Amino acid sequence: MASYNTIEVDTTSGTDIGSVSNFSFNHTVGSGNDGILILIHKTRGTNVYISSATFNGKAMTLGYKTGLYDTCRVEFWYILEPDAGTHSISVTLNEASNDRHCAGAVSFFNVEQDSPIKITDYQTGNATSFSNSFTSTLNGQYVIEAQSNTGSAAGTQSAGQTLIYKRSTANSGGMSYKSLGTSGSESVGWSGFASGSAYNSGLIVIQPSLKKKAFNRGYII
């Protein structure tokens, strides 16, 4: 039977973004094996999205981008085995924004490197709260989620979700992560939006890496 490592949470960071076509902020990566750094971007604009992103000058990969709903969108970029230390996450947008978005980042260790993102999903609607349900497929997975909404309140993430960053002003939003424990039915959500807010909620799920087998005198142990 396969044996998996336990995902370790490293550090988080985040920033609000002004009316620019590119931006950057620092993130600190610690020491560990099978690392991943995930950039989360929430925006509200007619068609604003990230065209490229780097960490310490190395290209990041688009992991998932939601569809557009009432000008709200969420996207996730990542880089495997990110360089340890404090370095810049540099982002180029397809067009200048109008101060309606923010970004955050979180790094982990002991994450599968071949295909780290196992589940993607998004949900939209108009409400003061929401719960987005999905099914985890392996013990020890983590979900990283974010929401963009049209109101003036970022709201509060549901129980069990650890805040990464949120923006609490016009065109709010926030992002968090959650340990999923055993596989099965799961959900993420937020509450406390301003009345009548439209929201767009996106999520990705990452999987722990396999434990490496030890060898002794030619035998696997």
Number of domains in the chain: 1
Can you tell me the mean pLDDT for 16-24? Answer: 87
For residue 63, being part of any structural domain is answered with yes
* Assigned domain for 3 exists: no
* Residue 183 pLDDT level (bands cut at 50, 70, 90): very high
User: Is a pLDDT exceeding 80 seen at residue 58?
Assistant: yes
Residue 209 CA to residue 32 CA, distance in Å, equals 12
| pLDDT attached to residue 202 | 98
Q: Which domain holds residue 193?
A: 8-210
pLDDT: which is higher, 78 or 48: 78
Q: What is the pTM of this model?
A: 0.94
Mean pLDDT of the chain: 93
Residue 2 lies in a domain: no
Query: For residue 209, is pLDDT > 70?
Result: yes
- 179 close to 210: Cβ distance less than 8 angstroms: no
Given this model, what pLDDT does residue 17 score? Answer: 86
pLDDT band at 214 (very low <50, low <70, confident <90, very high): low
213 or 50, which is more confident:
50
pLDDT at 65: 97
> Looking at the domain assignment, is residue 78 inside a domain?
yes
- Contact (CB, 8 A) for 18 and 98: no
Looking at residue 45, what is its pLDDT?
A: 81
Single-letter amino acid, residue 186? E
69: in domain = yes
Q: Is residue 215 part of a domain?
A: no
- 219 pLDDT tier (thresholds 50, 70, 90): very low
**Percent of the chain with pLDDT strictly greater than 90:** 81
| In a domain? residue 216 | no
User: Is residue 218 in some structural domain?
Assistant: no
Q: What confidence tens digit (pLDDT) does each residue in 103-132 have? A: 999 999 999 999 999 999 999 999 999 999
Q: Judge contact between 39 and 52, C-beta under 8 A.
A: no
